[in-house]
A and B are shown apart, each in its own frame.
Chain A
Amino acid sequence: MHGMNEVEILLVEDNPRDAELAMRALQKRNLTNKLVWVKDGAAALEFIFGPRGNADSKVRRRPKVVLLDLKLPKVDGMEVLRQIKANDKAKSIPVVILTSSREEPDIVQSYELGVNSYIVKPVSFDNFSEAVSRLGLYWVLINQPPEHFGGAPSSGSKP
């Protein structure tokens, strides 16, 4: 399994079919080595901020991109986005919404909360695969995050 420090993509998706299709598309570009898949919002938040009750609001992990579905069990995607972007340390983590909803209110609200990108999942397999793989390539390989956050491993995460 990958070390948490090397995590580049956090996939938050409750639907295993979509998750499989997404990961398959990413794998074709070899982007799944440092991918963590969580199935609900609560897990996503715990992944980034640590367990609940951690009041210091420190960012435990800093993936290169968070692929976030909106409709999630426990804590929905919008809330996850809100918490990440509301935290000064975490808000620089790129978050990309990857959802079936093309409802205008969802799109507007996401951007207001500071989303980095909003992608409607295409129904067509080809289009879907194409979109996700491009997305992964862009954020993991092309996009340049700020240095001091970038590859600096969190001290507390070491075993």
Chain B
Amino acid sequence: MLLATLGAGAWFYHSQRQFSRQDAGFAFESIARLKLESIVLWRENQLGEAEELMSGRFLTDGVARWLSDPRAESSGRILSRLRRAQDRYHYADVLLVDTEGRVRLSLNQRTEPLPPETLLAVSAALREHKPALTDLRLGNDSVPILEVIVPLFTDSGSSSKPIGAIVLQNDARESLYPLIQTWPVPSRSAEALLVRRDGDAVLFLNELRHRQDTPFKLRIPLTRTDVPAVMAVLGKEGLFEGKDYRGVEVLSVLKPIPDSPWFLVAKADSAEVFAGWRFRSFLILALILGCIIAVTAGIGIVWQRNLKAHYRTLLQVETGRRDIEKLYRSLFDNMLNGFAYCRMIYDGDRPRDFIYLVVNNAFGALTGLKDVVGRNASEVVPGVWERDPELLETFDRVARTGAPEKFETYLESMKMWFSVSVYRPQEGHFVTVFDVITRRKQAEQALRESEERYRLLADNAEDFVSLNDTHGNPLYVSPSFYRVTGWTPDEVQRTSWRARLHPEDMPIIEHARDVNLAGQITTIEHRFRCRDGSWIWVESRCKPIFGSNGKVEHLLFWSRDITARKRAELALRENEALVRSITDHSEDTIFVKDRDSRFLFVNPAGLRQTGLTLEQMLGHSDMELNPNAAEAAASMAADLRVMSSRLTETTEEEIVLPGGERRMLLTEKTPRLDPDGNVIGLVGISRDSTKRKRMEEALRDSEERFRTLYASMTEIVALHEIVTDAEGRAVDYRILDCNPAFTKATGISRDRAVGALASELYGAGKVPFLETYARVAATGEPASFETFFDLLSKHFDISVFSPKRGQFATVTEDITKRKQAEGRLAKQQALLEGMNRVLREAILCETEKELADKCLTVAQELTGSQFGFVHEVNAAGTVDSLALTDPGWTACRMPQTEAAMLLKGMPIRGIWANTIKLGEAVIANDPASHPDRVGVPAGHPPLLRFMGVPLKMGEKAIGLIGLANKASDYDREDQQVVESVASAFVEALQRLRARQQMRALNAFLDRRVQQRTKLLETTNKELESFSYSVSHDLRAPLRAISGFAGILTEDHAQRLDDEGRRLLGTITGEAKRMGQLIDDLLHFSRAGRQPLQATEVDMSALARTVFDECMVQAPGRQLRFKLQPLPGAQGDTAMIRQVWANIISNAVKYTRPKPAAEIEITGHAKGGELVYCVKDNGVGFDMQYAQKLFGVFQRLHAESEFEGTGVGLALVQRIIHRHGGRVWAESRLNEGATFFFTLPAKKE
């Protein structure tokens, strides 16, 4: 018994504790839920406001105009609209940004750029065409800011273009935090926290009760899983015990806040929560003790007393419950939102009413309803169900299904707008948490109503009346007509009524009149022309007025301006066409379903996807159409969910196309409501997200590629972390990661490198480039530099950047090869420069000494030597100095003449001798200890370092360039430079010598030419005097012979017999012939010597004259002479005349035997020559002697046959040759001859 009592006691104790904890939990749960609701409501209100701003065309258009041209539109109107928004919701600031996110206007005149997270939100809002909320962030002056982004577009519909956005900045301390921080019941420790995950920690967003200055500063690592805030961000939801940020035991409720990264933590110290329990537990312990005592007192009494004790305990429990009750009440009463806990009342299955069980203070304050608890809704608000039947339906739905709902509604019965959230705490009950949003809604409503009123007013104002005669001409017209159309009564009187009607409308108007005249009333629509030329549409109702004779006398018209309606009709048609065009061209599947999930509309993309026709699809559901039952069922279930919850749902599912192809479909279904808010079906948009999936895969591939690249790249990549000392100074760095190239280059394995300090890794205490690296890690400014690592004998190019503060990554490239190439290039350039200078300047050198000096200067400058010499091996096998630098002479301390003597015929010995002996360069950087040294002559400047480079002609060393006393040691580089100078020098020396030889040869040739010329002149003179002698002295004896023979004939002829006289005649004849020969010869000789006097020669005239002269010489001859026009020539007229004379006289002479002699002269220009031709039909000649024709004294005929000396044609040839022409002849014996000669054509 005792044991049982003890056991029961223990169980009771435990269950009581559980009970107490549950009670507290329930209270917390409620508070948390309330807070959650308020936060969600607040967020929705923000978005609601944003939507209102977004749809305001006035603001949008104004902003569009102002942004495109700030001068055109005053910013004042925009600012005042923004200020109104600010006033309503107490925004800290309202900004206007353009599509690039640049701040263009600010109520607080702020111009600093927006932070990246806000810019991202702006671009997302513009992309998705809907307002967005940003996360909480810390703005300027540590103000926690939450921004509402209102994207603005030019127009609704498909053609809308983004204009910019309005950014509403909430000061969270003013707006959001109060919702969180107020605690509905008095409590010492309770508070609510707003937290979110930030990397591997949880970040506290609001002010804390127990610690100051925490927003955005306090972080708790996720590893501390006993902290409720940590549990919340890790996804836990509900009631938990744990330790809070102070390390105090707390009881907490955790809730994620929908559509946000936030979590709500409502908590209070366990000590406080369980305070009531402690008292009760004491009682329970006492009770158990009492029980034990009672057991010993007797069973009978025990029962009695036990029972009593039980009731007492129950009483105590009841008391405890009352405490909790009190807690609730205070919770409800202090809420800002209205709260009502109600129970449904059913009539059988049909909901009839509900009864208020609990309401909070805010309920009364918000609704104005008092003393509602325990009363039915229909009593509290009479006629509520007649006016707002949907409300009861909604509450019934929640109470039945338990699915929470949220909506905005206007209650006709109360004339108020509510934002309501309903959930079901238990079967048949519901709780509403609501806010009255009448003010906002009223503002909206008022606007709509005023618009409506205006429209009605306008409509009514435009009616006009006219009374017309039977022909349609007006007798009376109401003033409104004039007002509307702009015509004056005068004008209407003067002109035809018909002229104001539209020609297209005439048939219908005429028809209507016929009907009217038949006594019928008509209503037609037609157009009137206004005074400004525009047309208005009117609906015209005509009633015929009958006269006393029973005939129609007048027509009464009521006309109403329906232009606006006509326009709207047109716009509607256009709008329909637009929607049609959008759905037709959309790549996404767009469909509409009725309440029973049957398709009412499917766009072409949807038909393509299903492979069905519109006729096949319309009126059928997925179940009937889709052969895949599972897919169809899932889709139908989603339809039901959407229609019942009235919430948009997005699903992603894989479907199998008729062809078997698999596609990912992202489908968004939205309930479709009629104007009364009843669900009449849904609209769905389905997008093939396969592409997006593929992109995600591509992204993964790309990441993988980068990883591979990192591993396989030849550049050394390493990530480091700066290590600081106690004062925060960078003292070392640690390798965090490195790629395989690192190991390859340094030989340090990754295992050894990662985690190691640079000072350990790169040699004792040495931390390379610490300063640079620390700067990069601290500032984030990347750097790059080149360096040479002695240890590796390699050049590196190092780029440093900082992936995050305190860390830096190095990308190191081995550029040793490039460096070497650069070095080689520089050397090459120095060599080329040296050679160039020598070769360039060598051209100006006239002597070997000068050349050697120049070359030595270059070699000395390029090597930085103090002095130098150029020696050349002479014929005797010793060397002569060609050049010695001035510093060499200056340094010389012996008389120069003596030194110059020494520099001739030097024996080849000493250090430099090897240069010549071996034909190789000699470098002696320590000549004093050189084995071949022979010392220097007295007065020679001291020799510190020496380099000798041979002057080589082919393989043979013909001398050397010696250089001495460079500031540092001579090296291979110097040697190469001087070798190039030496080869250039030898080249230049050879050239110089060749030039000198050439010059000598030229001088020799000049002398020879002068000698020859002189000789020639002498010869010419001698020849001249010879000719003179011949002409003078040879003729004198001839004349004597001829003369005395003549005297003999004259004076002594009678003393001679016939034979004597014949002989005397022969002597005379021969003497005469001799004279002729001499004359011809002299003539010929002169023709060769006389200078030419070139002038224009008229060849036709000359030939004619010469022919005439010849004919004088041959009296009695009969000749046919033909002279064609001849081209004029340039030449010595006298000589050319001689040519013609000789050729023509020949022709005359050799045609003598012919009875009908003919001579023809022609001429023409041909190929730069003038060809002249003398043709005769004389005796001709045998062509085999043609060569002899032009020789001196050459004759083809006997003297007895044809007289002549054989000089004529030789003379012709000589003259023609002297003129640069040619001469030749063609003939056949006895068939005439043709003589040709040419002269060069005249130069123009």
Contacts and interface: CB of A to CB of B under 8 A. Distances in A.
B1032 A125 contact: no
Interface stretch (A13-21, A32-40, A41-49, A145-153): A13-21
B1031 A128 contact: no
Interface in A59-110: 70-71, 99-104
Given A15-B1036, A100-B1035, A125 B1028 contact: no
A146 B1027 CA distance: 40
B1075 A101 contact: no
A123 B1028 contact: no
Contacts of A15: 1036, 1040
B1068 A100 contact: no
Contact of A121 (B1027, B1035, B1046, B1047): B1035
A41 to B, nearest CB: 15
Contact of A101 (B1028, B1038, B1068, B1074): B1028
A129 interface: yes
A100 B1043 contact: no
A100 B1032 contact: yes
A125 B1031 contact: no
A17 B1031 contact: no
A128 B1043 CA distance: 8
A101 B1039 contact: no
A17 B1040 contact: yes
B1036 A17 contact: yes
Contact of A17 (B1032, B1039, B1072): B1039
A24 B1047 contact: yes
A23 to B, nearest CB: 12
B1042 interface: yes
Nearest to B1071: A123
Contacts of A18: 1036, 1039-1040, 1043
A124 interface: yes
A126 interface: yes
A39 to B, nearest CB: 14
B1028 A124 contact: no
B1045 interface: yes
Nearest to B1039: A123
Interface in B1060-1083: 1068, 1071-1072, 1074-1075, 1079, 1082
Nearest to A25: B1043
B1044 interface: yes
A123 B1075 contact: yes
A21 B1043 contact: yes
Contact of A125 (B1027, B1043, B1079, B1082): B1043
Q: How large is the interface on A (under 10, 10 to 19, 20 to 34, 35 or more residues)?
A: 20 to 34
Contacts of B1031: 100-103
B1047 A125 contact: yes
Contacts of A21: 1039-1040, 1043-1044, 1047
A103 B1035 CA distance: 13
Contacts of A102: 1031, 1079, 1082
Given A18-B1040, A100-B1039, A124 B1032 contact: no
B1042 A100 contact: no
Contacts of B1086: 103-104
A40 B163 CA distance: 133
Nearest to B1048: A125
Nearest to A16: B1040
Contacts of B1044: 17, 21, 125
Interface string A106-145: 0000000000000001111110110000000000000000
A77 B77 CA distance: 133
Contacts of B1043: 17-18, 21, 125, 128-129
A122 B1040 CA distance: 11
Scoring B1037, B1040, B1047, B1090 by chain A CB atoms within 10 A of each residue's CB, the highest score goes to B1040
A101 B1036 CA distance: 10
Contacts of B1045: 125
Nearest to B1072: A124
A120 to B, nearest CB: 9
Interface residues of B, number: 26
Interface string B1076-1100: 0001001000100010000000000
Nearest to A102: B1031
B1032 A123 contact: no
A71 B1032 CA distance: 8
A99 B1072 contact: no
A128 B1050 CA distance: 14
A30 to B, nearest CB: 17
A24 B1037 CA distance: 17
B1046 A123 contact: no
Contacts of B1082: 102
A128 B1035 CA distance: 12
B1065 to A, nearest CB: 12
A128 B1039 CA distance: 8
A126 B1043 CA distance: 8
A123 B1047 contact: no
Contacts of A104: 1086, 1090
A124 B1035 contact: no
Interface string B1016-1038: 00000000000110011101111
A109 B1037 CA distance: 26
A129 B1036 CA distance: 14
Contacts of A126: 1046
Given A18-B1040, A24-B1047, A101-B1028, A123 B1035 contact: yes
Given A124-B1042, A128-B1043, A103 B1028 contact: yes
Nearest to A21: B1043
A154 to B, nearest CB: 34
B1068 A123 contact: no
A18 B1035 CA distance: 11
Contacts of A123: 1035, 1038-1039, 1042, 1071-1072, 1074-1075
A126 B1050 CA distance: 10
B1039 A121 contact: yes
A103 B1072 CA distance: 19
A117 B1074 CA distance: 26
A123 B1072 CA distance: 6
Contacts of B1042: 123-125, 128
Scoring B1032, B1033, B1072 by chain A CB atoms within 10 A of each residue's CB, the highest score goes to B1032
Contacts of A71: 1032-1033
Nearest to B1069: A124
Contacts of B1090: 104
B1079 to A, nearest CB: 8
A99 B1027 CA distance: 15
A17 B1027 CA distance: 22
Interface in A1-29: 15, 17-18, 21, 24
Scoring B1028, B1038, B1045, B1086 by chain A CB atoms within 10 A of each residue's CB, the highest score goes to B1028
Nearest to B1134: A104
B1146 to A, nearest CB: 23
Contacts of A122: 1039
16 contacts: A15-B1040, A21-B1047, A100-B1032, A100-B1033, A100-B1035, A101-B1031, A103-B1028, A104-B1090, A121-B1035, A122-B1039, A123-B1071, A123-B1075, A125-B1042, A125-B1068, A128-B1039, A129-B1046
Given A70-B1032, A124-B1075, A125-B1068, 19 more contacts: A15-B1040, A18-B1036, A18-B1040, A18-B1043, A21-B1044, A99-B1032, A100-B1031, A100-B1036, A101-B1032, A103-B1031, A123-B1038, A123-B1042, A123-B1074, A124-B1046, A124-B1072, A125-B1042, A126-B1046, A128-B1043, A129-B1046
Interface of A: 15, 17-18, 21, 24, 70-71, 99-104, 121-126, 128-129
Interface of B: 1027-1028, 1031-1033, 1035-1040, 1042-1047, 1068, 1071-1072, 1074-1075, 1079, 1082, 1086, 1090
Of all A-B residue pairs in the complex, the 7 with the closest CB atoms, nearest first, are A125-B1046, A123-B1075, A17-B1040, A21-B1043, A125-B1043, A100-B1035, A100-B1032
